[in-house]
Structures are given as C-alpha cells and as structure tokens.
Structure 1
Amino acid sequence: MSINEQPSLSGLSSSNLGYPRIGGNREWKKALERFWQGSIDESELHREMKRLRLEHLSKQRDKGIDRIPVGDFSYYDHMLDTSVMFGLVPERFNYRPVGPVPLSVYFGIARGQKGAAASEMTKWMNTNYHYIVPELANVAPVLTENKPLLAYREAKQELGIDGKPVLIGPYSFVVLSKGYNRKDLGAIIRTFLPLYAQVLSELAAEGVQWVQIDEPVLTTSFPVEDLEIIQEVYEALTQAAPSLNIMLQTYFGSLDHYERLTKLPVQGLGLDFVYDDGENLQHISRHGFPKGKTLGAGVIDGRNIWRSDLNAVAALLSQLAEQIPATQLIVQPSCSLLHVPVSLDAEHKLDRELVHALAFADEKLEEIAILTAALGKHDPSALAMLEQSAEAVARFNSSAARVQTAADLADLLAKEPLSRSVPFAERRVIQQNKLKLPPLPTTTIGSFPQTAEIRKARLHYRKGEWSAEQYRTFIQQQIKEWIDIQEDIGIDVLVHGEFERTDMVEFFGEKLKGFAFTQNGWVQSYGSRCVKPPIIYGDVSFDQPMTVEETAFAQSLTSKPVKGMLTGPVTILNWSFERNDIPRRQVALQLALALRAEVEALEQAGIRMIQVDEPAIREGLPLKKEQQQAYLDWAVQAFLVTTATAQPATQIHTHMCYSEFQEMIQSISDMDADVISIETSRSHGELIVSFEDQIYDKGIGLGVYDIHSPRIPDVSEMLGMIQRALRVLPSDLFWVNPDCGLKTRTKEESVAALRQMVQAAQAARATLSVSN
C-alpha cells in the first residue's frame, strides 16, 4: 500500500504496555547491587529508583504515546510486587504484614535470607524473564498498600501524566501461584476479589480513566470450566468501580475462547496480533468485535528486536478498522517491552545495514507513534516513514547471509546419524567401567565465580591492552586454582570453570558464523541479572573449535574426569534474538550441526564427559497444548543431532533449570542424555513428586541447593533433599550437584556450599552402605 493509498483512521490512539526497568546503562541493576552490598542506603536506593521511573515515563510521553503505563516499574519483579501488595509473605520469614512490606522482607522472599529460603523462581510464560512464584499456603491475603494508586499519583504530580495503572489480573495471579489445590481455584480467587475491588475503587476515586489488567494465562490452553470464575471476577470488578475503564490485556498468543471472553463486562480488550498465528484476526473477521468496546491492537513485536514493516502493519490496522471504529482502536506493542533492550543509540559497532533492520524499546515506541500519526492524522512525514520501514526490511531480508533452505537442511540431516549408536543400558556399563565413579557422584553445573579480577582481565584483552598469550596465561591460572579447589573439596567430576566466557550463549555465538552482537542490548532475566542476547541474522555454522583448549588444559591437571561444557542448540536459540522470517526449527537444527562438530572436537582431544546444557528448552514450549508436542519433537531432535556421533564411552550430560518440567519428563528421557541435572531446591523438591508416577531410567541429578541465593544451606538440609529423591529414584543413577552454575556467587560462598554438598553426599553414601 503506497503513501497515498493509506486510509485515514481519525481518532486512532497509541498505548504502551510496559517499559524496560533496567535503564539505558543498567542503572537499575547497578543501584540494586550497590544496595545489596551495603554501599548505598535505602533512601538513596529509593531516590535512584524514582529518578529512573520518572525518566522512563517522560521518555514515553516525549515519544508521543497517548496511554502510558504506570506501576509496571519494579524493584525486582512485578509478580513479587503483587504478592507483597496482598501481604503474601511466606511463614518462614516470620513477618506478619501490617502496612507496606519492608524492603528487607521483599528482597528476602526474592533472594533468601538467614534461616529462610527464597521463594521459587520460574519462567514467565514462554519467555526468558523469571518471576518469583507467589506462595498462597497458610497466608490470608490483605491489602498492604495500593501500589498502582501510588504509581498513578507520582506520575500525575511529578510529570502531569495521566497514566494507565497496570496490575496482574486475579485469574492469572492465582493460576501462576503455588500452595493450593487446583480444585479450589475459584475459592482462592474469591479471597482476592475484595482486595482487587478496593484497589480499583480507590483508583476510580482518584480520577483514573483506564486501568490495564494483565491476564496472560487467557492465551494458554486453560480449562473451559474456568470461564465461569473469570466471568465472576470481571463482573465483581466492574461493579466495584463502574466509572473505571478496564483494559483486559492478553499477550503471547491468541484467545481460544474468543466469543466468551469478548463478552466479559470490561471496556477494552488487548490482543496480540504478532504471536497469535493470525488467529485473533480470524476471530474478529468471523465473529466481529463487540460494539462499544475498545481494542488494544498489539501489532508491534514486543519480544523480538526486528524492525516492523509498517506498511504491512498499517494494512492490518486498516483491516481491523473495518470492524472497529478508529476511535476505539489503540496501536500498541504485542506485550510489555520488558523483553527487549532499551535503545539502539549505543550501537555504533554493528553493521549499519543490520542496525537499520532493528528496533529496540525506544524505536518500537517510535513505530507506534508513526503508525498513529500516519493513519490517525495522515501526517505526510509519518506516511513517508511507513514506506521507508518497508524498504529497510525488504533490503535486509534480501541481502542477509541466508542461503540454506529448509529442503537443503533436510537433505543434509538425512545423511547424518540422529541417535547414539548404542542404547543407554549398554553405554552405562561401558562408561562406568572406564570412569569408575563412586555411588552418588558429585559434580557442579559448570561455571565458577566471575570475580571483578576476571572481568577486568577480559576487558584488558578485549581492548587490546593484553596480548592473547597474557590472557591465556591468566585464564589457565584461574582454571588451575579451581581444579585444585575442587580436588581439595572432594568433588568427583570436575569442570574448568568457564572463566573465559562472558555469557553461556554469547560465548558460543561469538565463535559461530551467523551471529551479531550488540554493545548495550541488555534485557532483564531475573532480579538484577541482565543478559545481552546475540542476534542470529543468517545461517549458523561451525568455524573452529570453541572450548577444546581450556577443557583439555583442565583435564591435563587432574586424573579425575573433567566435563566439556557446551550450551545446547535450543537454549542458544531461545536466548538469542532469532530471525523472524526463518522457521525456528530450521535455526535449531543448524545450531545442532555446528555444536556436533564441537562435541567431536572435544572427543578428539580426549574429553570423555561432555555437558550440553539446555536450561531454556522448557521456556520455548508453546502455550497452546496442541502445539507443544511438535515443538518438543524438534527440540529433542536438535539435541540428538548434537550428540548422536558421540562414542558410547563418552558420557553426555545436560542441565535444565527454573521451569516446570513435570509435563515433559518423557521428552527429557527421549533426549537420551546419559545424565541430566535439574533444578529442584528452589521449588523445595516438588519435582521429585513427578518421579513417583513416572519412571526415569537414566542418570539424574536433582539440584540440592539454590545458587541464586546467598544463603548456604547446612548439610542436613541437603542430605534431606538427597534422601527424599532416593525414595523414588535409583541410587545407582543418582548424582549430587547444585541447581545451576556458580558464576554469580562469591568464591567464599561457593567453596562453603560445595563442601557442605560433598559432606551431604558422603553421608548419603554411608547410609547406602549400611542399607546394603
């Protein structure tokens, strides 16, 4: 559609659903960590957080966004914010909420504190953002403070912004919580309704016009019987604040129960038109959209970093306008912009053609403003920008390094082995004869603390201030120190520590073809932990060995086995910004073939244990049940392609963490890894229950302590975790390990916790000896 053919949608408006918290230079992260370290006090932390909040709001206003979200900012996590707003402090923290929950308790729930383990952390839907799981057991909800109201007042008083308060809806909040029986869902939700009603009525009394209530669970395959309680919820909330306009916001997919959900008594409905596979548009075309309701059209991709073809988006909006008056149509992202980096302003080293194909949070706001101005006001400069965006996207897609078709890949895979040459039962005997490991062998997941000294050395090398030989010598010194520490502690299977790696995905992306890297493309993963996902812009292929030098050096220092450490193909895919015009399965299999070459290179160097980590395999699981098996099939296939050529004597490990695995135990078994380690400590061992009903016949290590908390559990606590697992898992297949890598912990914390872990394993072995 050309500039002159664009229809005028007079009255069209814009909105945002959420903005990145971290700041353009990760000021948010730095302030939090200074506070935790004691270098700033609470009042200084509050001042810095307020400065960032107001800066983010001002930026959205200045970009031309009409409806600006308030209350989406957090000191840690928005689900945790909702928990403490409703007084959901677990009993172990010995705090009964009276008024606002203090920061010491708030951060204690998130990170743990002396005598009280942190709450469980898991993935937010199918993203790489982690939320703190609310615990509903043995606590009565009470409104401690109206956080959305405070956020609204601040924006109004400080900046004159009449904001749109954001909060998690009652249905999604309870469904994503723990500590109750699913049959009691309706009764649990009803206990929260008076609190939500009070929040909304106070917002209405303050003069708030619109409130955004996020219900992401509505895009999942939820039970149809839940529609009754959802109806009850929104009838109650509308009655509580009849003058308030509720925008019921969904994202990450389409609605299965479109006709029922569009009839809910709310004034607006937000739908995702990017990750819905075209289904939301089909629903509207087939069933229409309720008269008088406002549609929040999520037409700009809030999860990936590619520039939109604004001409195509304009055509979609015009199609929607055939069903919905423009005055009731809002242009917005498909979800909160929490999941993308802040701005392209710092990206001076990327190829210019690639930069022109990208859009981070600020650029996505500009895209929304351009669409609104072009279609709503027929602004000539905005209309010209529609054409420019279409040309930029077409130019990049036609010139990028992509030559391998899906058919080419299929032909290549047809010539390659897709499974191990010997079944697990036989491999196990071969491996044990060679490795001679004790019962309940101990190991770690891979990384050791990345100290300031290590980061400084890496910076010296990257700036050219150190030669390659200086840097190699430094890394080898770190490896030797930690090989000695591991042997002194008594760990059975060692790792080299990954000191040469900044990030487990970025490191491999830098050494494979088809990747590009930003300077400042950070996004929040959990708490203050930020990651900088690589960009997969073209075909992926192996270039040269990536991990052999460090692993082989570590193995030369000890007679104990040292694991080679690789990041698996599905995790690299899920933790990168991948091309959105290539099937994800195709990219995963390209990655698998490249990583297979590295597995073979490690074997040739004499490494007989290789860990191919897949911590992100669960997070990529589609939200719709009918789509999940297809994803699991190709995800398992990608892992098997990576490991298929490994010799029977080579023990393949993998690792997964911080997701719900109960529904995919069979797929995990199908990956045919000799040993898998899975997080269980932060979920307080609940995954163990899955093995009471399902048989797992391969090596497995269920993490016995949480590495994301500074708290160090004692030997008896770890021993209890081991003993509980051994009630349902064979002792001859069981391994003892932490939940995850130790990169973010201090040396002192790591050594102390690992000593306790080894003592717990030794105590468990003694028990086995007695019972035998």
Structure 2
Amino acid sequence: MKTSVIGFPRIGRNRELKIVLEKYFRGETDIRQVENLAAQLREQNWKLQQQSGIDWISSNDFSLYDNMLDVAYLFHVIPERYLDLKLSDPDTYFAMARGYQGKAGNVKALAMKKWFHTNYHYMVPELDDEMEIRRNGDKPLEEYRQAKRLGIETKVVLIGPFTFLKLAHYTGKKTARDFAPVFAEAYAELVRDLQAEGGKVIQFDEPYLSFDLTNQDKQLFIDLYGPILAAKTSAKVLLQTYFGDVRDIYAELIKMDFDALGLDFVEGKQSLKLVQTFGLGKQQVLVAGVVNGRNIWRHNSAKTADLLEALKQCGIDTESRVVLGTSCSLLHVPYTVANENRIPQEYKVHFSFAEEKLNELTRLKTNPLSESKTEEYPVRPDCINPSVRERVEAIRPEDYQRFPDFRTREKIQKDAWNLPLFPTTTIGSFPQTADVRRVRKEYRTGKISHAQYLDYMKEKIKACIALQEEIGLDVLVHGEFERNDMVEYFGQHLDGFLFTENGWVQSYGTRCVKPPIIWGDVSRKAPITVEWSEFAKSCSKHPMKGMLTGPVTILNWSFPREDLPREMCVKQIALAIRDEVLDLEAHGICMIQIDEAALREKLPLRKSDWKEEYLDWAIPAFRLVHSGVKPTTQIHTHMCYSEFGDMIPEIDAMDADVISFEASRSDLQILDALKANDFKTQVGPGVYDIHSPRVPSVEEIVETVHKIRARIPDYKIWINPDCGLKTRGEKETVASLQNLVAAARVLRKV
C-alpha cells in the first residue's frame, strides 16, 4: 500500500518562518533571506516525509502567509487598491494580507475568516467584474522544480477552483458562475504546464464539497472540472476532500475522470457508507484519510484494519486501489512530540504530532493490519475525577436560565452604569512587549521571585489603566499582561489540562498558538483572575471589566479528549468558569466579559447537524456560566473571524448583555443579519482591524459607525476594536484608540 499526506506544517520546527517574516515586516531583513529560509523549510519537510516512507509527498502546500491568498495572487485576483500602490510583488502580496500604510498609500487588508471549522484563518479573495484572471507567477511549478532537483517527486497541491470561488467575496454583479469558465481554463493551463515539467500527480483540494450542496453547486463543480480533466494527459489528478463526507456529490464524483478520490474517514460520517453503496469509479484510487490531521492522540490502528476489511468486502483491492492518508492537512497539529521535554513519558506515549503521524502512516502500510487489532495501548493515568462528574450530573434545567429577562436587565443596567451614548472600550488585552514576555519567562524559570513578578505586573496594570484614562475610554480593562494566551492561561489554572513547550500551531500569517491538551476531568483549583481584577478596579473610578475565556472557546481552542463526549467536557469547563464569574462579582467586579471567540469554530459544516451535534449544548454551556449573577452585573462576550450571519438567533439566545463582533474586515456584513433577526443584545461591532498595523483615521471610524447606526439603534451601540490588542505595537495602539475615542465624541454631538 502507498501513503499520502495532504499538507504539512510550514511555520518551521522552531517557528523560524514567523521570526524571519516579522523581521521583514519591521524592515530588519530583506526578501531574499525570507525566500532562502522558505526554501530550506520546504526542503526539510520534503526530506522528512521521504525518510519517513511517505509515497505521495505534497509540494505547494507551503505558503509565506496563506494558501487561499496564494491562489488569488497566482491568478491575479488582486483588487485595484493594491495594484495602485505600485509595490514590489512580495509587498503587494503582504499588503493584501496585512494592509498597508506608508508613502504609497493607505489601504485595508483583505477580509480574514476561519478556515471551515478550524482555528486557522484564511484571506478572503475579492473578485470584481473588471478583474483580468491570468497567471501571475509560477509558484506551484517553482516548488515542484525545487523538490525535483532534490530527487523528490511530489504531488503538486492547489486549493481547487470550486472551493476558491465559493469562499471568495464578489464586489460587483458577477457571481461564481460568471467567473467559472475563465478559472477553469486558468487551472487547465496550469495542469498542462505541470505535465510539461514531468509532474505525475496533481492534487486539487475541495473541502467545500463537505458542505450542504445545491444542484447549482454541483453543476458549477462539474463545469469547472470539465476543462481541467480534459487537460490531463500524463499526470494523474487527485480530488482531495476533507472536514467531512461528500454525500451530496459522491455519485457524480465517481463518474468523473478523476484518477484518485481523497475521502475523510475521521470526520466523514458517511464516507464508508458512500463507498459501500456506490463503489469507486473505474480504475479510481481511493485515498483514505484515516490518520486524524486535527487532533494529537495516537492513532488506533484497529479502526484502520476494520475500514480496510470493510472496503475489501466491497470488492476493492486494497493493495492496489487504496492509499492511506491523513484526514486533512497536518497544518492543524504541532510539529513533533520530540520537542516536548517536560511532559512525562507515561503521558507522551499517547500523543502523535505531525512528524509522528508520518510514522503512523508508514507503520500502517508496512505492518500486517490484522496484527493491529491486538496492538496494546498504555492505560491513561489520572484522567477521571468522580466529584467533577457528580457535579455535572447535578446540573438542573434552571441553572441555564438567568433572571430577570434581558429587557428588564437592560433598563436596570442603564441606570446602574450611567454610561454615555456610544460607550468606548477595548476587547481586553493590550500590547505585550518583549519586556513583559521576558518577565513572565523569568518568573516561570525561577529567576525572579513571586513578589518581584507581582510588583512588575501591577506597575504594568497601573500604567495601562492610566493610559486608558488619558485616552478617554469609558470602560477599562487591566491589559492581561500576566496572560500568555487566552486559553492556555486558564488551562494552567484548571485541573485536567496538559501543556506543551513547543506545540505551536499556525493560526494566521505569523500568528501561532499553543493549544493546551484536555487530558482529564476539568475543575477549578482556586480563583484565577480575582486578584488581578480587584487590583485593577482599585486603580480607577471608571468601570473595569473582568476578563474571562468562555467554556466553548476553551474547548475549541484546546486539543480535546477523544474518550469523553464534547458535551460532557464543556459542562465541566463551564462549571469551573461559573465559579470564577461568581467570585468576581462577590469582589465587586460587576462588568464581566466572557469571551467566546471560537463559538462558531466547531459548528458542523452541515446545517442538519448543527443543533444536535453542537448548538444544543454549546449555547446552554455559556448560559450556565453567567446565569447566577445579579441583574446589575453586565455580561459581555466577544466573537471573531467567522461567519455569524446564519446563527444570529442562537447567539442572541446566549443571553449576554453586550456582544462585540469582529466586523471591520468583513465590511460590517453581519449588521444586516442582526437587523433582520431583531437582535436584542447590545452590540460592539469592531470598528477597526487590529490584525493590520495601519492606524484608522477619525473620519474612517465615524463613517463606520454611521453604517452601524443605519442597522442598530444608537443606545445599543458600543465602539471598540475588533479584537484584542496583544499582538500590536504600542505606538499604533495608542494612535488607533485616540482616534476611536475622538470619533465617539464626534458622534455624540451629531
């Protein structure tokens, strides 16, 4: 049997790409050093896969920022505002990714959204009616040639035209259907050029096929691939799907001239049933995604053995017509367990990161799979806490309900807080400088005492509060300098979590996160944020928000257990955060933000699965956290970088008092959905993009708020950035917030 990997992490084993790119953005190095490092990282990845015994190794899965952005740039899907800057190729590319503010002009970045139901973010291409679609460079060919010079034959990977067009944003009258012929030909031309280079396998990634598809969607897909498949002569074309099954179009796929079909057997609930019912196309090879590309637990070989036996029962020769692969790209897991020195061995044996998953695939193809059924797995230590499970069982229906109702609370809180029209605030974190990170590390490694650490952090908090008062913000935060990450920080103060040293996963561009691992039953050891929030409150007479991360986000931004239903796990976390909420309130912190940035993230792709598989427990979990507070306590939450328009009623049902959304990069598209659903909750749509270094002008913010006012009553509008400020520089942060406050003052006079 052969093996295939859809894609591999690209940020580097030690985040080397992140480091050199950020130096480039600061003007501390040139593009040649970036490109040289990128070439080295690609070479390392290819050689690692080759040495691990992978047969179908991917090229062009690498990106300096994002693969969707790469496809847009490859086919000249470059909006005019970036071309008008007249920058060099790499700087035009990065202007699309990050925005640009300089001598050449001032433009926003492309919108950024979550990649399906992952924590990875992609750049949303913009297609306008006058755009000329043509080849703009040869990145896929260049990377194929680089691998070939090393003696490594790769399959060239590209996000397919259907997924690209379905995820794009259209700024004119034309639709995906109108652009289909020119994109089909552009992809077909690329196929011909790759064949001319000697390319043997070309992989088109079409994860959008895992959504619910209409008849029009299916016809669009068929029309797009007609010219592409007609262009292939010597190369094989692999249609790779992932993040679920392709039940709506499978019968059509096996009739098309694809040489191989990649199916997800981890998240694809009906993938096996589809093959059993319809079979495979004549001579088609099945690339079976059996190794989980999104979680870090050791693979259960017995499940693969069962799958192969079931395929044999369908009459499929598994030796010649089945390739074993990953369920999706390994971009979503850390690089290697070998980088972890602090996790005890009795825990580490249960984990498999990207490098280990390569070895799992090789073992699957080389060991008799019949033997895998007797493979022994070590027993997991200390993962069950009976008292936690008893507490979950004791939850009552009324524990999910807050009293009084929202309308009554809104009036009570208006009198209690007496805030001005268009109150201004931030999402929570402030810039974390190198000094802040250094002090946290020195405390963690024992170089400074607890007292020294507290003194430093309290001085940072006092300075942050003084800065906010000087800027003129209405509702303040303490800055979160003591926190490394909004999920990891809470996990470190809860029982049931494990933490990696180097388990970095790319979230977007150069931004990496280090998800904790939910190992066992979760409970709170002691108050987590109360001391910091109480100190911050003592530093100012302004309202001060307590800042927490919600249970759904903690679950979704961790690597979850596979031995316990997610519903049970999120209830455990919700009870722990509920304890923190009630402690904050008891200490006089009566404005509390419980962030659910990742609420949308794990929503099933198919709407028929939304309620039973997710919403029926995710929304109640949030209500469980805050249902016990007083009417005067104002509960805030924050959500970002996802499509929320189709779940507005469910978000309103969270029964928060104020919700802030990311909205700046998506041109406030969510506002129409809020208006259409008569959204009751007060709203803070982000008025500027914090993922870009550019500073918005007062006029720009005023114009943005006027757009908000057209859909939302003035008394319900808050003015805030679209996300936390941790990753931004201090200078740009101060300038942006000064303009935000100035804009609010202008609006109050209108």
Q: Deviations over 1:367-405 (max 9, x none)?
A: 000111114xx8xxxx87x478x4225x22xx4412559
Mark the CA change 1:43 to 1:407 in structure 2 (over 3 Å): closer, same or farther: closer
1:30 aligned to 2:25? no
Mark the CA change 1:133 to 1:349 in structure 2 (over 3 Å): closer, same or farther: same
The structure 2 residue matched to 1:105, chosen from 79, 92, 101, is: 92
Local SS of the residue matching 1:289: coil
Distance in 2 (CA, whole Å) between partners of 1:93 and 1:692 is: 32
1:533 is aligned to 515
Local SS of the residue matching 2:721: coil
Distance in 2 (CA, whole Å) between partners of 1:556 and 1:406 is: 34
In the TM superposition, what is the alpha-carbon distance from 1:194 to its structure 2 partner? 1.2
Paired residue type of 1:679: E
The structure 1 residue matched to 2:432, chosen from 450, 467, 471, is: 450
1:145 aligned to 2:137? yes
Distance in 1 (CA, whole Å) between partners of 2:574 and 2:306 is: 38
In the TM superposition, what is the alpha-carbon distance from 1:142 to its structure 2 partner? 1.1
1:505 aligned to 2:487? yes
Distance in 2 (CA, whole Å) between partners of 1:357 and 1:96 is: 51
1:15 aligned to 2:7? no
2:499 is aligned to 517
1:671 is aligned to 654
Residues 694-705 of structure 1 aligned to structure 2 (within 5 Å): 694-705=677-688
Distance in 1 (CA, whole Å) between partners of 2:257 and 2:386 is: 50
Q: Deviations over 1:118-141 (max 9, x none)?
A: 000000000000000001124221
The structure 1 residue matched to 2:257, chosen from 255, 262, 265, is: 265
Distance in 1 (CA, whole Å) between partners of 2:567 and 2:100 is: 42
In the TM superposition, what is the alpha-carbon distance from 1:580 to its structure 2 partner? 1.4
Distance in 1 (CA, whole Å) between partners of 2:387 and 2:139 is: 51
In the TM superposition, what is the alpha-carbon distance from 1:496 to its structure 2 partner? 0.3
The structure 2 residue matched to 1:578, chosen from 560, 566, 572, is: 560
Q: Deviations over 1:673-699 (max 9, x none)?
A: 000000111112222232342211221
2:49 is aligned to 60
1:604 is aligned to 586
In the TM superposition, what is the alpha-carbon distance from 1:314 to its structure 2 partner? 2.4
The answer on whether the counterparts of 1:446 and 1:496 sit within 8 Å (CA) in structure 2 is yes
In the TM superposition, what is the alpha-carbon distance from 1:584 to its structure 2 partner? 1.1
Distance in 1 (CA, whole Å) between partners of 2:562 and 2:733 is: 40
1:285 aligned to 2:276? yes
Distance in 2 (CA, whole Å) between partners of 1:691 and 1:642 is: 24
1:210 aligned to 2:226? no
In the TM superposition, what is the alpha-carbon distance from 1:415 to its structure 2 partner? 6.9
Residues 455-474 of structure 1 aligned to structure 2 (within 5 Å): 455-474=437-456
Mark the CA change 1:609 to 1:178 in structure 2 (over 3 Å): closer, same or farther: same
Distance in 2 (CA, whole Å) between partners of 1:274 and 1:182 is: 39
The answer on whether the counterparts of 2:265 and 2:289 sit within 8 Å (CA) in structure 1 is yes
1:691 is aligned to 674
Mark the CA change 1:46 to 1:648 in structure 2 (over 3 Å): closer, same or farther: same
Distance in 1 (CA, whole Å) between partners of 2:348 and 2:667 is: 44
Distance in 1 (CA, whole Å) between partners of 2:389 and 2:434 is: 47
Distance in 2 (CA, whole Å) between partners of 1:411 and 1:518 is: 31
In the TM superposition, what is the alpha-carbon distance from 1:453 to its structure 2 partner? 0.4
Residues 388-403 of structure 1 aligned to structure 2 (within 5 Å): 390-392=375-377, 395-396=379-380, 399-403=381-385
The answer on whether the counterparts of 2:247 and 2:274 sit within 8 Å (CA) in structure 1 is no
1:423 is aligned to 405
Residues 102-141 of structure 1 aligned to structure 2 (within 5 Å): 102-114=89-101, 115-138=106-129, 139-141=131-133
Mark the CA change 1:55 to 1:407 in structure 2 (over 3 Å): closer, same or farther: closer
The answer on whether the counterparts of 2:260 and 2:285 sit within 8 Å (CA) in structure 1 is yes
1:8 is aligned to none
Q: Deviations over 1:577-602 (max 9, x none)?
A: 00012111111111111100000010
Local SS of the residue matching 1:500: coil
In the TM superposition, what is the alpha-carbon distance from 1:236 to its structure 2 partner? 1.3
1:237 aligned to 2:228? yes
Mark the CA change 1:28 to 1:113 in structure 2 (over 3 Å): closer, same or farther: same
Local SS of the residue matching 2:290: strand
Distance in 1 (CA, whole Å) between partners of 2:88 and 2:574 is: 47
Distance in 2 (CA, whole Å) between partners of 1:400 and 1:66 is: 39
The answer on whether the counterparts of 1:482 and 1:496 sit within 8 Å (CA) in structure 2 is yes
1:338 aligned to 2:350? no
Percent of aligned pairs with the same residue?
A: 44
Distance in 2 (CA, whole Å) between partners of 1:715 and 1:183 is: 33
The answer on whether the counterparts of 1:409 and 1:586 sit within 8 Å (CA) in structure 2 is no
The answer on whether the counterparts of 1:89 and 1:96 sit within 8 Å (CA) in structure 2 is no
1:156 aligned to 2:159? no
1:294 aligned to 2:277? no
In the TM superposition, what is the alpha-carbon distance from 1:184 to its structure 2 partner? 3.0
Paired residue type of 2:34: L
1:616 aligned to 2:594? no
Local SS of the residue matching 2:731: helix
Distance in 2 (CA, whole Å) between partners of 1:695 and 1:409 is: 36
Unmatched 5+ residue regions in structure 1? 1-11, 768-772
Distance in 2 (CA, whole Å) between partners of 1:406 and 1:321 is: 44
Local SS of the residue matching 2:169: coil
The answer on whether the counterparts of 2:128 and 2:174 sit within 8 Å (CA) in structure 1 is no
The answer on whether the counterparts of 1:234 and 1:265 sit within 8 Å (CA) in structure 2 is no
Mark the CA change 1:13 to 1:96 in structure 2 (over 3 Å): closer, same or farther: farther
Distance in 1 (CA, whole Å) between partners of 2:496 and 2:393 is: 21
Q: Structure 1 length as normaliser, TM-score?
A: 0.94
Q: How many residues align?
A: 741
In the TM superposition, what is the alpha-carbon distance from 1:187 to its structure 2 partner? 1.9
Distance in 2 (CA, whole Å) between partners of 1:635 and 1:643 is: 14
1:374 is aligned to 367
Distance in 2 (CA, whole Å) between partners of 1:620 and 1:652 is: 23
Unmatched 5+ residue regions in structure 2? none
Local SS of the residue matching 2:247: coil
In the TM superposition, what is the alpha-carbon distance from 1:183 to its structure 2 partner? 8.2
1:357 aligned to 2:312? no
Q: Deviations over 1:578-630 (max 9, x none)?
A: 00121111111111111000000100110010000001001111001101123
The structure 1 residue matched to 2:160, chosen from 166, 169, 174, is: 169
Paired residue type of 2:442: H
Moved more, 314-323 or 678-687: 314-323
2:32 is aligned to 43
The answer on whether the counterparts of 1:89 and 1:95 sit within 8 Å (CA) in structure 2 is no
Local SS of the residue matching 1:417: helix
Mark the CA change 1:294 to 1:724 in structure 2 (over 3 Å): closer, same or farther: same
Local SS of the residue matching 1:540: strand
Paired residue type of 1:391: E
Root-mean-square deviation (Å): 1.8
The answer on whether the counterparts of 2:332 and 2:506 sit within 8 Å (CA) in structure 1 is yes
1:219 aligned to 2:201? no
In the TM superposition, what is the alpha-carbon distance from 1:472 to its structure 2 partner? 0.5
Paired residue type of 1:392: Y
In the TM superposition, what is the alpha-carbon distance from 1:181 to its structure 2 partner? 7.4
Q: Structure 2 length as normaliser, TM-score?
A: 0.96
Q: Deviations over 1:411-444 (max 9, x none)?
A: 3212762111111111112212221101110000
Mark the CA change 1:421 to 1:485 in structure 2 (over 3 Å): closer, same or farther: same
Distance in 2 (CA, whole Å) between partners of 1:237 and 1:28 is: 33
The answer on whether the counterparts of 2:127 and 2:168 sit within 8 Å (CA) in structure 1 is yes
Distance in 2 (CA, whole Å) between partners of 1:406 and 1:557 is: 37
The answer on whether the counterparts of 1:657 and 1:679 sit within 8 Å (CA) in structure 2 is yes
The answer on whether the counterparts of 2:183 and 2:224 sit within 8 Å (CA) in structure 1 is no
The answer on whether the counterparts of 1:101 and 1:144 sit within 8 Å (CA) in structure 2 is no
1:188 aligned to 2:170? no
The answer on whether the counterparts of 1:568 and 1:639 sit within 8 Å (CA) in structure 2 is yes
